[in-house]
Structure 1
């Protein structure tokens, strides 16, 4: 017998898509996988050096539940520089990736029945964790406003039960970036209605010109005492498998997180902590700049190929490293001819006919979208997108 809460959520849709891609590949078919939210690259040398040095020193003991104090001080300095606001170590919790930071946030601020506004399409983990915490996700459509919610729509969705707003910029899956005006509007709404802001900026290192990523507390400093910043090094340092991230917020929240984390994972992996500390103290900007150039080159290549799509608009891909295809017009056209199909159908066709694994927008609350990661090898990306474009241009259902 399973607990009742297990029926409230499914396994991650992105993880399921990766599994489907691997299953197709094991059957002998050449599959190019565009599902993974990670960048193919080598480790930063300073990260590797920090990890090896810690191992050579026989580091193997517990740290503080919220992470080593030296690391939290280093992160506080980094966040202070990024936000132009002073932060201290006791406002930082080091976590096992951004997922744990989000889980901790949901568990310590939500009561059963509390509502959380989530712009859609959304990263699949947002609503799942809110449900686990006993909250209710309230979805705000964004397709008609270039995947950034309008203040009008957010205001309409607020009720007496609303407790928080999720802001994910650059957005996963759409790549949309909130400009200063949008962030200021969210912050003012949160202050007016006494709401928390859960600010996920895991893709903040990848904003593509002319777009710029802005931390919300730098745009609206008065909203700082109600903002929880979630970030990780999975994307900005290509460390997805290392599981190291952080939550920054008011001291009272971080204190509650410490108590919670002491009963879940305890401290994050100690070798990853030492590796990250060494990077923050000695690494410099060169590696991250190289990673940004790699992603920018992949984006340029991908947009060039996707510009040949005839029935699907070229994605804007303002930030992050995903192309998000909008199938809604194609679906409307098919419906006028008596045919209907979903994003799931398109993803299956791309896998079987083009040998390209993608993620259906249904995983993100959108039955008319498809997400493609362009963090892979450029030659494979070129091959995959040419196959995908040819298949979509010949699409009939």
Structure 2
């Protein structure tokens, strides 16, 4: 018999979408995959140099459980500059990607029955890890406010059991960016109600003008002692497979995370750590600019094509590298015929009729949305979005 907690979880919706795309391609079908949460890019030269140097030095031993002290110092400098206030190495844990940082945060903060507010649509891992930790996700609908939560809705959802608020900006899947006013409001709410803020800024490197990404502690320094920052280099450096991220927060939380990590994964990959340290020490502005330009060009080309949709509004795509399509009107028209269609039906039709793999909003708690990644090759993106637009404009 399996443990009861396994019945509480479903497989990752984004991972399932990728698997579906690969299975269709394995059958010989021509599939354009718009499911992956990653950018198609080479490795940054300074990251490659750091990794090769570490291998040449035969660095194959354990590091400190929560990462090299030199790397944590370098990350403290990075966060200090971004948050406009000082951070120290003992306030940072290096993790095997952002997922482990989030897991450590949930396990360190939550007792059974504690509630966590999560704006919806949400990244599928947020509620899953809260459930594993014994907590209860409480979802806050944001569709009516351009996918940004209203403070009044957050306040209405707070109970005596509420322990934390998840803030994900730029948001996955919607691409929405929280402005300074909403961040300041959330910070004040957390202070007034004695709540933790779990601040996921993994897509912070990709904020599209005129929108700007703001770390919440730079907007509200007074919330620093109740904020956990989660970030990784999977998106900003296109290093998804390297699994390297970090958790930053109060020393007591980081100490608890260290104890937990010592019994789960121990230290992150030592070569990835040294590669990242080399990058942080040397920088790689040419690579960063190239990556940001690639994403910006893909966004512009994609928005131009998607503007041809007749029953689906053009996505805002303020940050990150996803287009999130609101299918409310398309589904309303289709459902006049008596059958209740949702985003799963649209995703299945796009795969079978147009050879395009996308992620249904049901993975993110939204039966009327579809997520499209534009981090892929530009020619494939053009082709895929042309097919998608033609299909949705005739779909019923």
TM-score for both structures, normalised by structure 1: 0.99
Deviations 1:128-181 (A, max 9, x none): 000000000000000000000000000000000000000000000000000000
* Residues in 2 aligned to 1:211 and 1:160: alpha-carbon distance in whole angstroms: 35
Aligned to 2:60: 60
Check if 1:112 corresponds to 2:112. Answer: yes
Aligned to 2:241: 241
1:234-313 superposed matches below 5 A: 234-313=234-313
Check if 1:85 corresponds to 2:59. Answer: no
Aligned to 1:389: 389
1:225-240 superposed matches below 5 A: 225-240=225-240
1:284 Cα deviation after fit = 3.4
The answer as to whether partners of 2:45 and 2:284 remain within 8 angstroms in 1 is no
Check if 1:199 corresponds to 2:199. Answer: yes
* Residues in 2 aligned to 1:29 and 1:310: alpha-carbon distance in whole angstroms: 28
Check if 1:98 corresponds to 2:98. Answer: yes
Name segments (4+ residues, structure 1) moved above 4 Å. Answer: none
Q: What number of residue pairs does the alignment pair up?
A: 396
The answer as to whether partners of 2:94 and 2:268 remain within 8 angstroms in 1 is yes
SS of 1:246's equivalent in the other structure is strand
1:337 Cα deviation after fit = 4.0
SS of 1:207's equivalent in the other structure is coil
1:122-141 superposed matches below 5 A: 122-141=122-141
* Residues in 2 aligned to 1:57 and 1:283: alpha-carbon distance in whole angstroms: 21
1:335 Cα deviation after fit = 2.9
Greater Cα shift, 278-287 or 193-202: 278-287
1:113 Cα deviation after fit = 0.1
Aligned to 1:160: 160
1:332 Cα deviation after fit = 1.8
Aligned to 1:356: 356
TM-score for both structures, normalised by structure 2: 0.99
SS of 2:287's equivalent in the other structure is helix
SS of 1:385's equivalent in the other structure is helix
Unaligned residue ranges in structure 1 (runs of 5+): none
* Residues in 1 aligned to 2:243 and 2:305: alpha-carbon distance in whole angstroms: 33
Deviations 1:45-97 (A, max 9, x none): 00000000000000000000010000000000000000101000000000000
SS of 1:86's equivalent in the other structure is coil
1:330 Cα deviation after fit = 1.5
* Residues in 2 aligned to 1:350 and 1:321: alpha-carbon distance in whole angstroms: 20
Deviations 1:203-237 (A, max 9, x none): 00000000000000000000000000000000000
* Residues in 1 aligned to 2:256 and 2:23: alpha-carbon distance in whole angstroms: 42
* Residues in 1 aligned to 2:259 and 2:338: alpha-carbon distance in whole angstroms: 57
* Residues in 2 aligned to 1:131 and 1:339: alpha-carbon distance in whole angstroms: 33
* Residues in 2 aligned to 1:262 and 1:12: alpha-carbon distance in whole angstroms: 25
Deviations 1:338-389 (A, max 9, x none): 3421100000000000000000000000000000000000000000000000
Please report the RMSD computed on the Cα atoms of aligned residues, expressed in angstroms.
0.6
